[in-house]
Amino acid sequence: MLVGAPPEHVRAQRGCSVTTAPRLSPVKSTVETVEENRVKLVVDVDEAEFEVEVDKAFRKVARDVRMPGFRQGKVPRKVLEARFGSAIARGQALEDSIPDFFVSAISEHEVDMITPPEYEIISGEEEGPLRFEAIVGVRPVIEVAGYQDMKVEIPAPEPTDDDIDGEIENFLGQFAELATVDRAAAADDTVTMDIATTHDGEEIEGLTANDYSYKVGTGAPVAELDENLTGASVGDELSFDAEHPDPEAEGALHFEITVKDVQERVLPELSDEIVADATEFESADDFKADIAKRVTEAKRSHANNQWREKAAAQLGELVDADVPESLVDIEVRDRIEDMAQRLSGSGIGFETYLQMMGQSIEDLVEQMRGPAEESVKVDLALRALAAAEGLEATEADVEEEFTQLAEGMSTDVADIKSRISTPNQLMLMRADISKRKAAEWLLDSVSVVDENGNPIDKDALEPEPHEDDHDHAGHEHGNEEE
């Protein structure tokens, strides 16, 4: 499943779908497929029911009419008809009520619409019963093949000795000392040198000095510095040119270097004394055990995330059909809305963020289209898998969903049910539950191997329960993967 993506029935609460509770019930409605992923609804409203809407429209018109002898908003319908005719109110009634009749129709038929409706009034525009058509795009129903035999490759969840030793070395690095070596310079060595740098014959201040210390591998100000120092020994004299790091500057930089000393970083042995001074632990063994535990947790967490993300991504890759652009547009919009909400929660305005990043909204939309299309394919594939494996949402599942939503929003179930009550909203909720079931089915079924093709026990991907985390001193030894 997509990490961080809210369920559709939750997104629908902020306007991502047609969820308005229908206040009108059409007398009759039918639905038929007109072309791939598009359906036509035909809605019939009898004359008496539509007349109620016309009467409401006259009252609405009356609010804006001033006529001698009547208070504003109290002009009788007959007077308004005599003065303006019935067309003005009927037109208002059509404009106000057709969207509501349409919502009732798509709710009745549980149409999973993904585009705004295209209306056409067939009859009743001037008098009599109303009939109109609405054509909408619907979510495609697809089939996927091959998901039963999927295999995903993820990093091994258990740490190696090198992983643990690397973390210990990071911790000991704060106590490292430099020692002169009688060999050529290598990566991470510190070279002491006399350096003279010129540009067009003029000396570059800051890059000309005696006894200048430089760590090989830094990569600044130019990569050629590392290339020439690697393998150099004390007494070597180096002369080379390099492209100016400022793209607006013309001409190359020229370097003249004399190597005077090569030093390597020497780490102390991990000891009880160092551990006691720099951490909350009393012994090196306790500290090393804690490192092993934290590295293990980090590796498992990373592997777990990779397992879920790669399984979803590979399932989406099985979708060989083109996805509707409208679905991609919706996904892009939802992502931007989610981003704006997170930024707002951090006290950063969306426009301010775009300015900070040097982006326009068009740049952001284009940047999101690729990932959005992949997400849409995963969504369609999960729906297809759920249908193929019979993973429908049961009534018990729906009740549990209401309970969890109520707990998450600190309210009661009755309140949540009042907010998610239309057939359209309930359809989205059932779809979300089915997709979660499909995702869990996929994770249970997919084969998982490490980088060397060795099978991984899925139980090893689950994090181990542990006591309260230690927030101790000596944070330098913390995992970089965490």
Residue 418 neighbours by CB distance under 10 Å: 11
270-293: pLDDT as tens digits: 999 999 999 999 999 999 999 999
Is 69 in the same domain as 96?
yes
27-62: pLDDT as tens digits: 699 999 998 899 999 999 998 888 888 888 767 766
Domain boundary residue among 211, 243, 266? Answer: 266
Residue 14 is predicted with a pLDDT of 39
Does 243 fall in a domain? Answer: yes
Does 235 fall in a domain? Answer: yes
Q: Is 201 exposed, middle or buried (0-12, 13-18, 19+ CB in 10 A)?
A: exposed
Domain boundary residue among 216, 239, 266? Answer: 266
Q: Domain containing 194: what range?
A: 177-266
Is 288 in the same domain as 208?
no
Is 234 in the same domain as 291?
no
The domain that contains 343 carries what CATH number?
1.10.3120.10
CA distance 432 to 1: 11
Is 298 in the same domain as 403?
yes
What would the mean pLDDT of 439-450 be, rounded to a whole number? 96
| pTM for the model | 0.74
210-240: pLDDT as tens digits: 999 999 999 889 999 999 999 999 999 999 9
Predicted confidence band of residue 466 (pLDDT cuts 50, 70, 90): low
The domain that contains 97 carries what CATH number?
3.30.70.1050
Is 432 in the same domain as 393?
yes
For residue 98, CA distances in Å to 111, 401, 422 come to: 17, 33, 18
**Residue 274 backbone dihedrals phi, psi, to 5 degrees:** -65, -45
Does 279 fall in a domain? Answer: yes
C-alpha 93: how far from its chain's center? 42
Does 323 fall in a domain? Answer: yes
Does residue 21 carry a pLDDT above 60?
A: no
CA distance 9 to 416: 11
Is 376 in the same domain as 251?
no
For residue 164, CA distances in Å to 282, 424, 459 come to: 19, 53, 22
Q: Which residue has the tokens 């020229």?
A: 254
The rounded radius of gyration (Å) of the Cα atoms in the chain is 34
Domain boundary residue among 122, 137, 152? Answer: 137
**Residue 265 backbone dihedrals phi, psi, to 5 degrees:** -85, 125
Strand arrangement of the beta sheet that strand 28-35 belongs to: 28-35, 38-45, 130-137, 118-123
Residue 457 is predicted with a pLDDT of 92
The domain that contains 214 carries what CATH number?
3.10.50.40
Asked whether the beta carbons of 274 and 286 are under 8 A apart, the reply is no
Does 358 fall in a domain? Answer: yes
Is 261 in the same domain as 302?
no
361-415: pLDDT as tens digits: 999 999 999 999 999 999 999 999 999 999 999 999 999 999 999 999 999 999 9
Does residue 200 carry a pLDDT above 80?
A: yes
- DSSP states along 214-273: EETT---S-HHHHHHHTT--TT-EEEEEEE-SSTT--SEEEEEEEEEEEEEEEPPPP-HH
Instruction: Give me the number of domains the chain comprises.
Output: 3
Is 262 in the same domain as 338?
no
